[in-house]
Amino acid sequence: MNPLLTLLQINDSVFPIGGFTHSYGLETYIDKRIVKDSATAEAYATSMLRYSFYYNDAAFFWETWKICEKRATKDKLLALDRFITTLKSPSEIRDASKKLAIRFLKVVENLKSVRRCKSYLESIQSGRAHGHYAMAFAMYAHSQHISFEDALSAFYYNSLNGMVTNCAKLVPISQMDGQKILFKLQPLTRELVAKQKELAEDMIGNCCVAQDIRCMQHEKLYTRIYIS
């Protein structure tokens, strides 16, 4: 199989895992008029990548990748799963991570079965693991001989694309403004990917307090379009 084409497929916005149903607190920011136009949408996306995603899901991706590289035991993956679960304080975010992980693992199982991915799915379904999308994506990308830099870059882009798409729907911003944000933040994505391996272990899970609060407030919004 072609690693590039596989990466494009599993990272596509229409890959059927339900990623479009989650805003990860963005809906609250928009409801409170904190994110209200193209400028604030860009500022939000920049802050999320630099101060939240880098320390959390991207870091979890790298930790999973290291385990796969070392061919470590299943217990190592389960321990990481538990660690990540403790770091995701808002219940909606924990649930989103689990739902995306399960759907992702079920889809790729039907494409090309991977022992580690299948075992992780079974652990989630049996209750031995919670389930996290960053782990599932990293496991499968690694198994398909996709380079770490390409896989992590795509993972960052997927998150950024989700933010911009949700802003286009909710703020709203124009599609052209959305594309400009995606293009403008390429250097930031490249910067974060390049230094991901340098992140100190005691900084993993560094909390973005504002996002956690907005995610918790989302549970009680009067009107909600997104699950999280």
Domain boundaries, the chain: 3-12+21-218
Residues written for the chain: 228
Task: Return the residue matching tokens 């604030």.
Answer: 40
pLDDT digit string, tens, across residues 173-191: 999 999 999 999 999 999 9
Superfamily of domain 3-12+21-218: Urease accessory protein UreF (1.10.4190.10)
Task: Return the residue matching tokens 């580690």.
Answer: 116
Give the C-alpha separation, 200 to 110, whole Å. 36
Which among 24-28, 112-116, 180-184 has the top mean pLDDT?
Answer: 180-184
Buried b / exposed e over 124-136, threshold 16 CB at 10 Å, is: beeeebbbbbbbb
Query: pLDDT category, 169, cuts 50, 70, 90?
Result: very high
Give the C-alpha separation, 146 to 9, whole Å. 12
Query: pLDDT category, 210, cuts 50, 70, 90?
Result: confident
State both tokens at 185: 């933040």
Of 165, 167, 163, 98, the C-alpha closest to 136 is: 98
SS3 for the chain is CCHHHHHHHHCCCCCCCCHHHCCCCHHHHHHCCCCCCHHHHHHHHHHHHHHHHCCCHHHHHHHHHHHHHCCCCHHHHHHHHHHHHHHCCCHHHHHHHHHHHHHHHHHHHHHCCCHHHHHHHHHHHHCCCCCCHHHHHHHHHHHCCCCHHHHHHHHHHHHHHHHHHHHHHHCCCCHHHHHHHHHHCHHHHHHHHHHHHHCCHHHCCCCCHHHHHHHHHHCCCCCCCCCC
Give the C-alpha separation, 136 to 140, whole Å. 6
Instruction: Look at the pTM and tell me if it is higher than 0.75.
Output: yes
Q: What per-residue confidence (pLDDT) applies to 227?
A: 84
**For residue 72, is pLDDT > 80?**
no
Q: What per-residue confidence (pLDDT) applies to 74?
A: 86
Cis peptide before 187 (omega within 30 of 0): no
